[in-house]
Amino acid sequence: MERSDGECASSSENPRPWQSYHTVYTNAKAGMDGVDKEKVQKVVYEMSKGSKYFENEERKEAFIRQKIEHMRARCAKLTSLVISHYQKVADKRILELEATRDLSRSWLHVDMDAFYAAVETLSNPSLKGKPMAVGTMSMICTANYEARRFGVRAAMPGFIARKLCPELIFVPTNFTKYTYYSDLTRKVFCKYDPNFMAASLDEAYLDITEVCRERGISGIEIAEELRTSVYEEAGLTCSAGVAPNRLLAKVCSDINKPNGQFVLPNDRMAVMTFISSLPIRKIGGIGKVTEHILRDVFGINTCEEMLQKGSLLCAVFSHSTADFFLSVGLGLGSTNTPQARFRKSISSERTFSVTEDKALLYRKLAEIAEMLSADMQKEGLRGRTLTLKLKTASFEVRTRAVTLQKYISSSEDILKHASVLLKAELPVSLRLIGLRVTQFNEDKVRAPSDPTQKTLTNFMTSGHASKKIVGDQNSLGSDINDDCLIDDKETSVSLDVSETNNYEFGDPVCDNSLPDLNDENCSFSNKISEVEKIHENEVSPLLEGNSLVLRQEEGSCCDGVEEVDKDTTPDNKVGTSSNQKDQFIWLDDYKCSLCGTEMPPSFIEERQEHSDFHLAERLQKEESGSDLRILTHMERCVRTQRDHSASHRKRKKQKLFEKEGTHIPIDMFFAKRNRNF
């Protein structure tokens, strides 16, 4: 929640308090331009007011306000001498950054339109033209453009969406379908750039420099051709952006959504003109909080203003954060393709008809080990953490991991250790087996001085197999794996069509996110302490969610702006802790381990909101629980009777959620206190 006026808005002071209530739900996505924003704000406000979610939003808002005040006070103390010093620093840095500008490459960012909704409409054409959302009453994954006109959008609880659009049709998610269609689109992408970078199921970055050169055609033509090809292959529309770097290509793909494209020429003037009026929020990595701070402390609204306020940014923020802001002001972004060696893990999995036949399961395991080994050898990779993933007949997902003394890559070695892991689970009825190898030997070479890596590995496995069960909301604490913990921003894309290999790359979007989010030393150690806490005290992950809020209150900024406490003397710098994101609840950095919702790392804000839901629910439950403890015996008896009859209804409801693949009714998050009993 964000209050632009900076005032506390109780309804007695402000007859329209919703006007200053901005959550991710009121933030426009493509196709929401004509939406009656105030109506959406009012509905969201009224439906969440008084809930734990609302309280948490207020806490966050109070923290941001405090942060803004603090930064304003610091800026006010900067003397003209200090400012002129930092002006020189900024000017020098701008020149240095400008010298790195690379206009030799053409990047294309492609993003499918209303992806899940479009896939669902393809398999059920009667949905065409009707407002529909994919997801449940708890959480919407996306909405088609018809629904967006009502203000319905991704990450919004379904019951709020239904209030906004009573006609809204809900369709449950079907990830097998989405991965199937994603695969079809990727086959097309491959033709233009065999090394394309998938950012999520529906998004990819392609370096089209070579294909343009070889065929002697422009980026405009390639974009048109690619979009037509995707439509022919998959029956789905997409939008594309072409620009000299990935950061700008992503901004461009959103401009003419849906089913459109925008091409920014490889020309410095064109880039600077484009950037001059571009709202900072359009940049990947600049979320609600950063936008708020830049606007309210520095008066920065557009990317160009980053350069104008360069001296203040350099005075207040760390080098890396200031660099990021200045780069944005110059319209710079990544132009290289990260090499496979940056990969943090490699995996292979197989879905099959449910079986508990041991011999068959071992045969499948051997095949997967073979495939994985072949891929590893192709890449020259050797790793020492092997994770076995199993999906049981009842869709419970389990993982077991072992960290070995030596690095392995041969199918024999992989199979030997995987068999030990599998044996510990038998007898079991399975529908999927997967193997993943992490901790490559080259990681060791590249980062010998990272002391936390060892601690983490020791903690996670200590050389023994460690069991983790996923899919049970209570099991999150034990479900953290090192991939979730290392801040590598991987996007794990599970191509769930019967037999696939998964490759995981660093998230290209995060290349452009705030640098402090990548401050491995800082965030890594935070993560370790969290894991250790979970391990030692058996605290549930939701409590960790709670500590997220506490950390924010302790002085880190919500979406990761790393501020440096600078004295008025330029060289006196003390770094404050950067924000610890809630990455740890995301399995494979992709899937919420509490409710199964899949959300790629690039959905920074949506993920923040999502974990806040879980936190709010936890708090709501805790409050109900503690209130229960202080009930009199008589009250308890009355309640027991009432609960008994309610439990039947509850069980029914629970079953419904299980059917939908959702474990937690998120609408409960919004339960008002007086409605708890």
- Give the binding site for ligand TTP (CB under 6 A): 29-30, 111-116, 141-142, 154-155, 202, 257-258, 598-599, 603, 606
Residues with catalytic roles: 203
CA dihedral 314, 318, 319, 322 (to 10 degrees): -50
| Residue 41 CB, nearest approach to ligand TTP (Å) | 19
Q: What does the block give as tokens for 171?
A: 């369709």
Q: Are strands 261-263 and 238-243 parallel, antiparallel or unpaired?
A: parallel
CA dihedral 535, 536, 542, 547 (to 10 degrees): -120
599 binds, among Mg ion, ligand TTP, none (CB under 5 to 8 A by kind): ligand TTP
**Which of 57, 61, 111, 519 touches Mg ion (CB under 5 A)?**
111
| Residue 403 CB, nearest approach to ligand TTP (Å) | 32
Nearer to ligand TTP, 148 or 566 (CB): 148
Residue pair 479/593 in contact by the 8 Å Cβ criterion: yes
Nearer to ligand TTP, 185 or 266 (CB): 185
Q: What does the block give as tokens for 382?
A: 């050797």
Nearer to Mg ion, 115 or 262 (CB): 115
Residue pair 164/150 in contact by the 8 Å Cβ criterion: yes
Nearer to ligand TTP, 168 or 401 (CB): 168
Between CA 584 and CA 482 the distance in angstroms is 9
Residues 59-98 within binding reach of Mg ion (CB under 5 A): none
Residues 348-377 within binding reach of Mg ion (CB under 5 A): none
Residues 192-251 within binding reach of Mg ion (CB under 5 A): 202
Q: What does the block give as tokens for 574?
A: 């003390």
Between CA 405 and CA 463 the distance in angstroms is 8
Part of the chain binding Mg ion (CB under 5 A), chosen from 113-121, 248-256, 332-340, 640-648: 113-121
Q: What does the block give as tokens for 135?
A: 């997801």
Nearer to Mg ion, 202 or 375 (CB): 202
29 binds, among ligand TTP, Mg ion, none (CB under 5 to 8 A by kind): ligand TTP
Contacts of 147 (CB under 8 A, 6+ apart): 117, 131, 132, 133, 161, 165, 168
Cis (ω within 30 of 0) for the bond into 166? no
| Residue 119 CB, nearest approach to Mg ion (Å) | 11
Tell me whether residue 273 is exposed, middle or buried, using C-beta atoms within 10 angstroms of its C-beta: 0 to 12, 13 to 18, 19 or more.
middle
Nearer to Mg ion, 30 or 369 (CB): 30
275 binds, among Mg ion, ligand TTP, none (CB under 5 to 8 A by kind): none
Between CA 200 and CA 250 the distance in angstroms is 13
603: which DSSP letter? Answer: -
| Residue 257 CB, nearest approach to ligand TTP (Å) | 5
| Residue 112 CB, nearest approach to Mg ion (Å) | 5
112 binds Mg ion (CB under 5 A): yes
Nearer to Mg ion, 86 or 181 (CB): 181
504 binds, among ligand TTP, Mg ion, none (CB under 5 to 8 A by kind): none
The widest CA-to-CA distance across the chain, in whole angstroms, is 83
| Residue 24 CB, nearest approach to Mg ion (Å) | 16
110 binds Mg ion (CB under 5 A): no
Residue pair 463/405 in contact by the 8 Å Cβ criterion: yes
Tell me whether residue 167 is exposed, middle or buried, using C-beta atoms within 10 angstroms of its C-beta: 0 to 12, 13 to 18, 19 or more.
exposed
Binding map of Mg ion across residues 183-202, x = CB under 5 A, - = no contact: -------------------x
155 binds, among ligand TTP, Mg ion, none (CB under 5 to 8 A by kind): ligand TTP
Between CA 619 and CA 194 the distance in angstroms is 47
Binding map of Mg ion across residues 614-653, x = CB under 5 A, - = no contact: ----------------------------------------
Part of the chain binding Mg ion (CB under 5 A), chosen from 105-113, 271-279, 554-562, 581-589: 105-113
Beta strands in 455-498 (DSSP E): 466-470, 490-491
612 binds, among Mg ion, ligand TTP, none (CB under 5 to 8 A by kind): none
Q: Assign 502 to helix, strand or coil.
A: strand
Q: What does the block give as tokens for 520?
A: 């491995």
Interface with Mg ion (CB under 5 A): 111-112, 115, 202
